[in-house]
Amino acid sequence: MPRNVEIKARVSNLDAVRLRAAQLSNFPEKLIRQRDTFFQCDSGRLKLRFLEGEESQLIFYQRDDQEGPKLSNYHWADIGKPEVLENVLGLAYGVKGTVIKTRYLYLVGQTRVHCDQVEGLGDFAELEVVLRDDQTPEEGEVIAHELMAELGIFKEDVQSCAYMDLILKKNNSS
């Protein structure tokens, strides 16, 4: 099962983080426009990711909501007819909500650096340290913390929950 250690943080200057990530990356920046529809799921999180210009994906993952780095276990399948699947899953499980974002992806070593503009929430940086089979989550945390420092991401800006949860909290407080 694929695993990664993830850190998500609110950022005040996304352009500065993007510039630094581009300097650290050995690959060109990739622009990704995506819409994630989340479904009710008792044992983890289930989302259908619509990717502009690419095949969509159904993603199931398990991750604790906690401060700092989080271990994620995930599985995905490429989807050819996402609208049909979205309807079926919505009828079967119920739709929790939708997250729409523009993502700039950078690859820095074994880490995917996402610089996200999330509709209704603002700007965030997300680090996903993709663990090798022989690596521990603690090793991934060390990599994530080192990269946070290099990117100018501050510990006090780290978020403990997913974008979907932040949107639900915001909507419930309005």
Query: What distance lies between CA 2 and its chain's CA centroid?
Result: 15
pLDDT higher for 22 or 173?
Answer: 22
Distant-in-sequence, close-in-space partners of 106: CB < 8 Å, separation ≥ 6? 18, 21, 22, 24, 25, 27, 29, 30, 112, 113, 115
Q: Mean pLDDT score of the chain, rounded to an integer?
A: 92
pLDDT of the residue at 150: 97
Pairing label, strands 30-39, 3-10:
unpaired
Beta carbons within 10 angstroms of residue 153's beta carbon:
24
Q: Is the pLDDT of residue 67 over 80?
A: no
Q: Where are the domains of the chain?
A: 3-173
Q: pLDDT over 70 for what percent of the chain?
A: 95
Using one digit for the tens of pLDDT, what is the confidence trace for 91-144? 999 999 999 999 999 999 999 999 999 999 999 999 999 999 999 999 999 999
Beta carbons within 10 angstroms of residue 8's beta carbon:
22
Q: Is the pLDDT of residue 65 over 70?
A: no
For residue 105, CA distances in Å to 30, 139, 140, 173 come to 5, 22, 19, 31
In whole angstroms, what is the distance from residue 15 CA to residue 18 CA?
5
> Could you tell me the two tokens for 57?
């994906």
Is the domain spanning 3-173 CATH 2.40.320.10? The answer is yes
